[in-house]
Chain A
Amino acid sequence: AIEDLFTSLNRHIQKSEFDLAVKVSDQVLSISPGDEDAVRCKLVALIKNDSIEEALSTIEQCSKKSSIDFSFFKAYCLYRQNKLDEALESLKGKEGDSATMLLEAQVLFRLGKMDACVDIYEKLQKSRIDSLEINFVAGLVSAGKASE
């Protein structure tokens, strides 16, 4: 039953067995095509497994028959491939949750757009994100504002 598959999927996730998590997600999807939790698990497992190319092709396949907003995942994969303009494009018009803002700041950093990058880290400061200050300082140093 699908419940058993999700139990198994959950166990693989807890043990960081991402290959197996992808496999079980696919099993769920074969009996319940487009299942949103299974699609999300598969994508996250592929990304955590550094299978960026496969994550992108999964997004490509699923976005045709799903109403899930894949733009963050897509942008993250493009960022990993250093396709920075395309990554920004995928984030355009997305709601500014902290994951999206973190990714946008990292893309802007690589593009050398330090003022825009630092602006985002400034906004994120109240969100208490672990190690945020490391990237914030990197942005400030690169923007030539190290004394701040």
Chain B
Amino acid sequence: NPIVLDLAYNSIEFPSLENRM
């Protein structure tokens, strides 16, 4: 079977907390 990467996982990012600190 061809390799499939979990690119959706890679696209999940934490929000920027810049203005909260």
Which chain A residues have a beta carbon within 8 Å of chain B's beta carbons?
2-3, 6-7, 9-10, 13, 36-37, 40-41, 44-45, 47-48, 73, 76, 79, 98-99, 102-103, 106, 109, 129-132, 134-135, 137-138, 141-142
Contacts and interface: CB of A to CB of B under 8 A. Distances in A.
B20 A47 contact: no
Contacts, number: 67
Contacts of A47: 9, 12
Given A7-B21, A10-B21, A37-B20, A142 B2 contact: yes
A142 B3 CA distance: 11
A98 B11 CA distance: 8
Give the interface SS of chain B, mostly helix, strand, loop or mixed.
loop
B2 A137 contact: yes
B5 A131 contact: yes
Given A129-B11, A130-B7, 15 more contacts: A3-B20, A6-B21, A10-B21, A37-B15, A41-B14, A41-B17, A44-B13, A73-B12, A99-B8, A99-B11, A102-B7, A132-B7, A135-B4, A135-B7, A138-B3
Interface residues of B, number: 17
A131 B6 CA distance: 10
Contacts of B3: 134, 138
A138 B2 contact: yes
B10 to A, nearest CB: 7
Given A40-B14, A41-B15, A44-B13, A3 B8 contact: no
A37 B17 contact: yes
